[in-house]
């Protein structure tokens, strides 16, 4: 019985990671895209920094989670700062979820990134 659960978990993880190996590493929005309002989240290949460009709101908070749900980075909202950069050099290689939460409204966008 325990062996079946282990196999089930391995298959689930493999199914979750398979699309990442089929495509180039890039940030993918998990939320429904809105063509008029965008939030860009990506890793700058030159500096290695996480870049968040939020044209939706100038006042937003950023949180980064690993796949276990542990919060690994938290940046409070700073008014009138649409583009923000974060040092993520301390993070291990892997997949992370970046949550961008507007401070003025309850809108949020979650983006998946992969660090190589």
User: Cβ atoms within 10 A of the Cβ of 88, count?
Assistant: 18
Specify whether the CB–CB gap between 58 and 52 falls below 8 A: no
Output the domain CATH number for residue 77.
2.60.40.3080
Residue 5 has what DSSP assignment?
A: H
What tens digit of pLDDT does each residue of 62-98 get? 999 999 999 999 988 877 778 899 999 899 999 999 9
CA–CA gap between residue 24 and residue 21 (Å, rounded): 7
State the residue range of the domain holding 43: 25-115
Angle (nearest 5°) at CA 68 between 63 and 70: 40
Is residue 1 situated within a structural domain? no
Is residue 11 situated within a structural domain? no
What tens digit of pLDDT does each residue of 2-52 get? 555 655 555 456 555 545 444 434 444 444 445 545 788 999 988 889 999
**Tokens 């949550």, located at residue:** 99
Is residue 16 situated within a structural domain? no
Is residue 107 situated within a structural domain? yes
Ordered strands of the 28-29 beta sheet: 28-29, 108-115, 94-102, 60-66, 71-75
If one counts the domains in the chain, the total is: 1
Is residue 18 situated within a structural domain? no
């Amino acid at each position: 019985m325990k062996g079946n659960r282990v196999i089930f978990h391995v298959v689930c993880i493999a199914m979750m990671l398979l699309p990442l190996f089929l495509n180039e590493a890039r940030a993918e929005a998990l939320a429904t895209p809105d063509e008029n309002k965008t939030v860009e989240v990506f890793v700058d290949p030159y500096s290695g920094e996480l870049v968040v460009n939020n044209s939706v709101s100038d006042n937003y908070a950023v949180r980064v989670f690993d796949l276990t749900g542990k919060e690994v980075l938290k940046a409070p909202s700073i008014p009138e700062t649409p583009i923000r950069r974060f040092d993520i050099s301390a993070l291990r290689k892997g997949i992370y979820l970046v949550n961008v939460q507007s401070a003025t409204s309850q809108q949020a966008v979650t983006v998946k990134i992969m660090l190589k």
